[in-house]
Chain A
Amino acid sequence: MTDHLKFSPDILRRLGEELVPAIDQGIVELVKNAYDADATTCEIALVGLASGKGSISILDNGTGMTGKQIRRGWLVIGRSEKNKNSLTPKYNRVPVGDKGLGRLAALRLGDRVTLTTRPAAEPGKQYSLVLDWLQYENAELVEDVELAIKEADTDRPQGTEIRIENIGDRVSRGTVSKLARSLLLLSDPFARFGEQLEENKPKRNSSESDSDPGFSASLLTEEFNDLQAKVSQSYFNDAEYRIQAEVDDKGSAVFRILDWKGDVLHQAPADEAFDAPPFTFDLWAYILNSESFSTRTSTVSEVRNWLSELGGVHVYEDGIRVPPYGGADNDWLELNLRRARSPEGRPSTNTSVGRVKVTNIGGSLVQKTDRIGYVENFAFTELKRACVEALNWAARILLKERDRKREAEKQSKKEKAEKATKNLERVLNRTVKPTERRRVDSAIRSYVEQTEKEADSLREELELYRSLATAGMTSAVFAHEIGRPLKLIDSGIKGLMRLIPAEQQDAAGKRVERIQTSRDRLSSFVSIPLRLLSKSKRRTGKVDINAAIGSLVTMLEPVSAYYETVIEFVPSEDGLFFNGTEALLDGILLNLVLNSFNAFQRESFEQEKRRIKIETWSDTTSIVIRVEDNAGGIDGVGIEDIWLPGVTTVADGTGFGLTIVRDSIKDLNGTIHADALSDFGGARFTISLRPMRELFAK
């Protein structure tokens, strides 16, 4: 007698539920199976959810299954995709479904599953099968439960229906709307809008197969209709411009910027090849202000709503969406971060919608087991890199464009102003009595002066920003140069000491020590701008908050010692991470700490033991960083005014420190709260940041 490895029914639950935690994705997997069965429609009905005994049915018009296919295919759980190259027989589709665990998770949603299928291969025949999960609960081994495939005659057309019953309260409203979104986006909605990219369609030997009429899945609920109405509206024509990257099967890429009509405005081949499967990346970017919409039929708010539904950059593998890319809160190309770093010529996820259309016949892209996203292998990284390069290229072009436009505007404004002055002069001459003219002139002059004053103050602010930027860059440049003189001081001291006779070495030693201390202080002061501007600090990625703050505090040690100030750092017990740049975090903390140093030195404020405390922790939704001192708190300026540019209580201060802090935190999607006086004895700043999403926390 031969033995078999046998499975306990527990394995079914664990495989299904633990590997695919998202219910909606489980259902989508069933819908994908319909697509693979060459169906053109698939309807999902949710019945009686509120009753606590609800059911889900998935009905398609695909090719169905014969009894043999059920036995050899449908009932085999966990068979992985062997060959992406075997296309579906009728429409030559690249199979997208998962025959394995995702399906199991969906099927296990309820107590009981009924499969009814009418194969195209055997017209007039219907097969049905019931899976009663309660039986499995009671059985010892999976194999112990016997299944019967029933055969019957039918006059109904081909197709498959899966009915999952008694799903209880496992499907919430939130799940339903997520499901609706997933279904809508499943088959490329962009494709429906007749865009001009069809020549880029992957080449297939489609001679003997029918042309694919397309596939649509719909959810029979109210929500779905609303959503569909929103999504099916097309606002692609309202885009300000479209960025495109096209990568061919040899990996060479072309970047383009197109206008709303699809006409190419700029085009350039990429400098290097990308080792990614052939794909096209399109990003429609919008300028959401009333000015740019004044000549259009749609309104800003319509487009804004539509964009918020459609989301970011979606990935369609052979016509079917790969979640979570482009889903809510998924900014896999880091559009928002790039924009935060240099806003000009950079769309954000709120102002753009995009799509990557990839042909994965070679199978170099591998979806994760849980069907949420690709494994971040080389092919995927290259695909991402190509998209990013395209964005960077476009930003450069747009920036140049904008600069040119600005220059032209300046010129035309000047001309217009001159013309307007002449015009005014003419009108005044005609309409104002010479006796009144003096008064009118002086009124106009004072009006003009006022306007100019306002413009002046803005210009001044800008100039201050510019000079601060220049000061920063300059100090970094010279900081690099400081090494040489420091070295010279070291060797100079040693040389001098050798020249000093032994009996005077003691007296000289003291002075030399002072030079050494000053040299060390100089070097630590100088390292600050260097650290802030070092390239690695400005690279976006996962930032270990505690490590970053820790090293900042260490770097500041000579400075804080100089100011007789103790900086305590109390890091959280668990690691805290956010997605961004270390430089941004450094900038925030440095500004706050420098403010504290200044506060300690206020005229007629006394603090025997100067302390600054930095604490980090995480609560349920966010990372919290708190900086407080015992320098007596904020006075002389309203707490709500401290963020304004130019507001300062320090003579010769720029008043930009806290403005920069506020703006940096905004860039990180965080918030900051200031207390004028805390129990600690001074100002307290509490920063909340959004933690890094699991997906990116590799």
Chain B
Amino acid sequence: MRKLQLLLLAVLLLAFVAACSRDDAPPEVAPPADPTPEATVPADPDPVDDEEDIDPDAIDISEFVELHMLLLGDRPGDLDLVLEEINTHLRANINAEIDISLISLADHTTMYSLRLASGEVIDIIYTSSWAHYPQEAVRGAFRELTRETISRYMPLTYAQQPWRSFEQARIQGRIYMVPANSAPLQGHVTLVREDIRIAHDLPEVVDFETFELYLETIARDEPGVFAHHSSQNNDILRGLIFNTGNNIISLPGAANFAAMRFTYGMTPSSADIYWMPDMPEYREFALLMNDWADRGFWSRSAPADSTMPRDAFENLTSGTFVHNSGTVGVLGNLLGARDIDTLAVDIFPDAYRFFGVYTGDGMAIPMSSVNWQRAMMALDQLKFDYDTFAAFRWGVEGTHWTAVGDRYFRIDNPEAQARYVFGGISWGIRNSIFERTNIEAFRSSTEIFATWTDNRAVYSPVDAFVFDATSVQTEMANLTNATARHQAILDLGLVSDVDAAIAAFRADAEGAGLEVIMEELRRQLDEYFAQ
């Protein structure tokens, strides 16, 4: 009899387990079903509720809460130490603490959506125009933020950050992100090896011609070093030579296929938009890349090479590194410490540089957040309470950094600093009001940046535009695939006949529904320009 009971118990247990997993397994049943955020505060311990009153003093923070933050980046060695510092401030100011988990930058394309869909409680998550914001927002992953909730729970931010920045974050009319408070200037700087240049008695790299000569010399005379290390694709040189070199803007949200020429003072219209490979500039670029590939500027096996360009430059197997001025500066300093002479150069000194978007960095509150009000308050503190901001951004003062005046910092202990690299995981709260730069920053790279700000910094006419591909998903999926098949090898110059390859690309893109996509894109742009 007892054995029978045991068996029954086992069966019951089984049924129970099955039933439980039915509850937990599909993420879709977990979070609130109603899209309006105010109406769905699940089991909110906070008695002061939404419409009741808008007096910020009335926010009840008597109950201590722990908030979970998900960011992109690698775990810094001193994260616990820094968190202790941040939490000291947060406990005092809003009776809350945060913990941080991370998705490596190498994994975020696949992991980000999974973590959001898994149903785990996340209160604050990094997001941006390049890190899944439009896609996840459309899918309903984030809580909508309104002027009321922002002004109530994020008073510091609301008072000091231009509302224009929030406007830029609108997706289908709604805001789901707290973007950065400033739009940084975009533009690529090229880092070259001065030791190689001087050894071969080459002229200084100041423009495209001297750059090409430098690359050619490395390809010919420096065994073991590639002129430019290309990994899997050639997006970097396309951005530099095709885009910057011709003042061509790639369209936000459609950057890998649609582009427009920029001229100063232009009145933009949707007729200026082209499918990138259709532009004569692109053909010219592809021909040049074919020539460079034939001359051995990079590996013929580049599509299969998974070494990152930055690593290749750092281990001295690449002659150039192209990136934003900050990253170039970090790498230049790093090699300088190893007595390798590098120089940041601008090979297109006459090209326009564009201000980026506010939404290039930001934070969102996922739907799975239970304490979303406190999450917003924590975000407010992290962004605009100087002490909390400084701890999160640079680490513990005195350990990781030392303040120099109001705008700079100094690194006294590089080993400690390496355990909490400046800005390594904290771009989501970037705040230009408090921002500091390293006083020992790589000179040539900051100088180039300064010449842009002084001379050629312009606003892109499409900076706040985001292509919403919801209505052309099928065509976009097919075009993405056609692009994956053709773009990288064209950019890398590995096709035998450029014109034939572009024609084949066009045929595949047309088959994918390119016309439908371009029509939708132009329609949205007409609306955007009309505003």
The finding on whether chains A and B are genuine partners in a shared complex, rather than unrelated, reads: no
Interface residues of B (CB under 8 A from A): none
